Chains A and B, each alone.
Chain A
Amino acid sequence: MNIDFSAEELAFQGEVSAFLAAELPSDIRDKAANNIELTKENFVSWQKILAKKGWAATNWPVEFGGTGWTPTQKYIFDNECAKVGAPEAIAFGLKMVAPVIYTYGNDEQKQRFLPDILASNVWWCQGYSEPNAGSDLASLKTTAVRDGDDFVVNGTKTWTTLGQHADWIFCLVRTGAAEVKNQNAISFLLIDMKTPGITLSPIYLLDGSPEVNEVHFDNVRVPAKNLIGEEGKGWTYAKVLLTHERTNIAGVAKSKKRLQDLKEKAMQTSDGLSGANAMLSDNFAWQQKIAELEIELLALEYTELKTLADVSTGQAPGPESSILKIKGTEIQQSIDMLNVELAGYYALPFVRDQFVDGFEGVAIGPDQAAGSAPTYFNNRKATIYGGSNEIQTNIICKAVLGL
């Protein structure tokens, strides 16, 4: 064991930071610095720059175009990206459906889908949840009935994040007869969003953003060749994917950057007092909260590093992914609240357009204040999605403690 970076790792860090300095477009950098929402084009254009460099798929095997990086390299890359506010990869294609396709798909499917994911030519969304199948995902009701060379899909998916941008959706559907045990009748199906019979309706979240959708399938004909792996095995594939999803959700690098930003902003924020303790950064209660959070994050950082190291030696992320999910999201939400606290009264004004590109009105309050409360509200989702934190706790009870 050794806690320091090797000479090669330090060189790699230099390479990544030089690349980011040269290639991250300044408009994207400015938006990140000023809390402006990124557009679909921003995400895609940055992803394409990474793809050109060969750095788009940090988690894929080399044979499909992945980087083949060690866990330490991935860690370095994530941290350098977070430091400069580079957009995170939209996970649905690169981190969620791709591992299922390259692990369980056939050659034709690999050739058909992976290159476009790698190049960010296609935007994917995730169609698992349904109005009555949330935590109990296996009770999903969307059906796919075989008819000649097609499946005919009927049902409703919901909470589909950024479905409005998506070209394709990966779905869990019920293919088997009703009497088959719940999980064994579920299959993994890829569906082109342009297929007739699909309609989207937006769902507005607490920050006013239409971030998620309901997706309705009305006799949608999907070619049977879009089925991944075997019929009835979709649940098994999805579970593997879910552990990847949870590991992604922890967001340690981003939380580190946000905590650092908070510390800097507190030095520029008046605490309302005069004299030696004039700034929020001098406030003892504030210092204590920041320090406690930093310590928690440090522990999580090493939990993550250890998990990544285990995964790289071939072990699937096990219940550790539940720890990462629970602690990672709790820390994110604590940071969300500290941003609101930092803003004080200026957390209250809600000028939604202020976070959208091209805003021409008068900005209210300091830049860092706008968006603090909406982000806090919106990100309550983090402990709910990706398998809620209660469900993660149940997994630890069952899988680790044997309860």
Chain B
Amino acid sequence: MDFSFSEEQQMLQQSVSKFISQDYDWDSRQALSKSATGFSAANWQLFAELGWLSIPFKEDDGGFGGSAVDLIVTMQEFGKGLLVEPFLANTILAGTVISEAGSSEQKSALLTPLMEGSLQLAFAYAEPQSRYELANVQCSAVINGDEIVLNGHKSVVLNGAAAEKILVSVRTSGESCDREGISLIWVEASAAGVRRECYASVDGQRAADIWFDDVVLPASNLLGSAGEAIDVIEMTIDRAALAICAEAVGAMEMSLTKTVEYSKIRKQFKVTLSSFQALQHRMANMFIELAQAKSILLMAAMEMDSLNGRAPKALSAAKSRIGKAARLVGEESIQIHGGIGVTDELDVGHYFKRLTAMQFLFGSTDHHTARFAAS
């Protein structure tokens, strides 16, 4: 066992941290979140230049062969700034699908421009009835010679608005919840029969519901073998879950820091809030939650990197525990701020909103508790 970060990991951490603290102040973040596209194209280009968009991918595919630990190092810093750029949707979700299931042609067509920052992607996997079950796929794709015909409805697709191409989990055979018969395809967002309703999400990010109505695409848009995609999908969502756990840890850290700072400034009854032991204990409790979250996050990332088959269970443990911590830290931060905490103006409320969304993305706290128990 070794709990120390490598020199590269420390450099990565410093470089992301520098960007967030120097170039990503609160007002700019809010302006981006409220802008037409919801994020900055210039920042995205910068991430590409700094190599951040290439970190997780294999060296053979043109990436840096980054580990799960590299991923959490990056995501924690992003979480501190409540980053709105679609890193998770592009680099983690879409990127993992392509890198795990794509052919070399598909990688050059999709992964290379993704790493260069010139292509926006999304991965559509959830459906209105699927809840958190990844094998619950009803979107249908009929493969007919060299054509595929796609029909169905995908829910809450992250980066669904900006995406130029959309990766979709589809059923090519079997019944709704069968693990066999699920495939991965990609489709042009502008293709005939694709309809998108785009919206902001409660945490200031962007998403879309997407309907496919007899969309015709070439059979070469299939990634991997037909009917055998469930393992790649699960692995992708586990990676995304790990990433969002790390983001939550960063967001919790900021939320706690801001709350402690505020409690030392705000005075009632002629003394600072920080002098009330009732509040001191609650902040200490938030700190303990955060410490537990950090530990279980590291554990899950290290399990993932050791490729020992224990990753799914470890990941569920992390998602469950961090979800619980995120709820407590988010809610307590608001409570200790008092009225100012429920206003749109103050940043702490936005950390709370993102911490809430994180409890549900890629499987809720309850879902992962149950998956932990069952595995």
Contact = CB atoms under 8 A, between A and B. Distances in A.
A359 interface: no
B135 to A, nearest CB: 9
A135 interface: yes
21 contacts: A135-B269, A135-B338, A203-B345, A205-B342, A206-B349, A208-B344, A271-B131, A272-B129, A274-B176, A341-B360, A345-B360, A347-B360, A348-B207, A349-B202, A362-B197, A364-B197, A380-B352, A381-B342, A384-B342, A390-B276, A390-B279
Contacts of A345: 126, 131, 155-156, 360-361
A374 B200 CA distance: 13
A204 interface: yes
Interface residues of A, number: 53
A32 B373 CA distance: 39
Interface in A341-387: 341, 344-351, 362, 364-366, 373-374, 376-378, 380-381, 383-385
Contacts of B331: 380
A349 B156 contact: yes
A135 B268 contact: yes
B344 A205 contact: yes
Nearest to A137: B268
B202 A350 contact: yes
A93 B56 CA distance: 61
Interface string A266-289: 000111111000001001011000
Query: What 7 A-B pairs come out closest when comparing CB atoms?
Result: A272-B131, A272-B133, A274-B177, A204-B344, A136-B268, A270-B129, A348-B201
Contacts of A273: 133, 136, 177
A54 B162 CA distance: 57
Interface of B: 126, 128-133, 136, 155-156, 175-177, 197, 199-203, 207, 209, 267-270, 276, 278-279, 327, 331, 334-335, 338-339, 341-345, 349, 352-353, 356-357, 360-361, 364, 366, 369-370
Given A206-B353, A270-B129, A345-B360, A351 B344 contact: no
Given A274-B175, A393-B278, A381 B339 contact: yes
A252 interface: no
Contacts of B175: 274
A349 B155 CA distance: 10
Given A345-B156, A377-B349, A377-B352, 13 more contacts: A139-B269, A158-B339, A206-B352, A270-B130, A340-B356, A345-B126, A348-B360, A349-B200, A349-B202, A373-B356, A373-B357, A385-B339, A393-B278
A316 B98 CA distance: 69
Contact of A344 (B207, B209, B278, B360): B360
B109 to A, nearest CB: 29
A397 to B, nearest CB: 9
Nearest to A284: B370
Question: Interface of chain B, helix or strand or loop or mixed?
Answer: mixed
Contacts of B364: 341, 344
B366 A204 contact: no
Interface of A: 129, 132, 134-136, 139, 158-159, 203-206, 208, 269-274, 280, 283, 285-286, 337, 340-341, 344-351, 362, 364-366, 373-374, 376-378, 380-381, 383-385, 388-390, 393-394
Contacts of B156: 345-346, 348-349, 365
A373 B202 contact: yes
Contacts of A374: 202
B133 to A, nearest CB: 3
B360 A377 contact: no
Nearest to B136: A272
B280 to A, nearest CB: 12
Nearest to A333: B331
A363 B293 CA distance: 36
B147 to A, nearest CB: 29
A129 B339 contact: yes
Contact of B345 (A159, A204, A376): A204
Contacts of B366: 283, 285-286, 341
B346 to A, nearest CB: 9
A206 B344 contact: yes
A132 B353 CA distance: 26
A285 B369 contact: yes
Contact of A203 (B341, B343, B356, B361): B343
